[in-house]
Amino acid sequence: RRYAGLNAGKVRSMVGVRLIGRGEREAERPRTGKESSEPETFFKLVAVEPDGRHVSIFDGRTEYAIGVPLSQEVRAGHKGGLYVCQSVLDLLKLGPLPSTSKKLDAPWAVVRLVGWGQTLRYDLASGGAKLAVENLIPVSFVAFPGDARDRFLARSLRQQASAREAREGGFSGASPLRLTHEEMEEVFEDWRELMELLRTD
């Protein structure tokens, strides 16, 4: 298997263990922290700088470059770790993005990464999940379509507004962050497009 210029042997030499095959992945992640020496595939949305570099949408500084490892200690309560999703579908169900994110207006890309070490799963009220992972290596990028980014941001703004209204009105029903039926239809439409892009990458 090749990862945009990185072959499996190269990745193995970086992480010191064998790559796990798609059929060997666990069907479902535990909701607590775990330690894994087996590298697995993850996905993340990143911003694309005018010079072609890929950086964190949130802080605008952390750079993601093919073959360059990143590490951060995983700590509970969103206090540490590198945040990724286990599937493209979960990636599209993330939200809302922090309003203080530095690169909301930049072009975006999806980075495919190999990750290992300590992981911690967070189930999200939107219906998706994200993981804090200790070690990551970016292996490929595909452009995130601009119309999909606009829909993602519109969902994020709606979630923020609904959460604000719920706080002010003492809302006690279903989570205002959960995606609506119409939003889920958008998510699946964008998921199909991204899967095609990832297959041809």
Q: Under 8 Å CB-to-CB from 167, ≥6 apart: which residues?
A: none
Assigned token pair, 186? 């958008």
What pLDDT, on a 0 to 100 scale, did the predictor assign at position 99? 86
**CA proximity to 112, closest of 79, 140, 90:** 140
Give CA–CA dist 5/159, Å, rounded: 38
Stated pTM of the model:
0.79
Question: Which three-class secondary structure string do you get for 70-110?
Answer: EECCCECCCCECEEEECCHHHHHCCCCCCCCCCCCCCCEEE
The mean pLDDT value for 54-82 works out to 95
Which stretch of 54-68, 114-128, 167-181 has the lowest confidence by average pLDDT?
167-181
What pLDDT, on a 0 to 100 scale, did the predictor assign at position 176? 77
What average pLDDT is seen over the chain?
A: 83
Give CA–CA dist 120/132, Å, rounded: 5
Beta bridge partners of 24: none
Q: Say yes or no to pLDDT of 34 above 70.
A: no
Helix, strand, or coil (residue 172): coil
Give CA–CA dist 39/14, Å, rounded: 11
CA dihedral angle for residue 78, residue 68, residue 144, residue 23, rounded to 10 degrees: -80
In angstroms, how far is CA 75 from the centroid of its own chain?
Answer: 18
Give CA–CA dist 116/187, Å, rounded: 28
- Per-residue confidence at 25, pLDDT binned at 50, 70, 90? very low
H or E stretch covering 53: none
What pLDDT, on a 0 to 100 scale, did the predictor assign at position 172? 54
The mean pLDDT value for 31-52 works out to 84
Which region holds residue 93: left if phi is over 0, alpha if psi is between -120 and 50, else beta? alpha
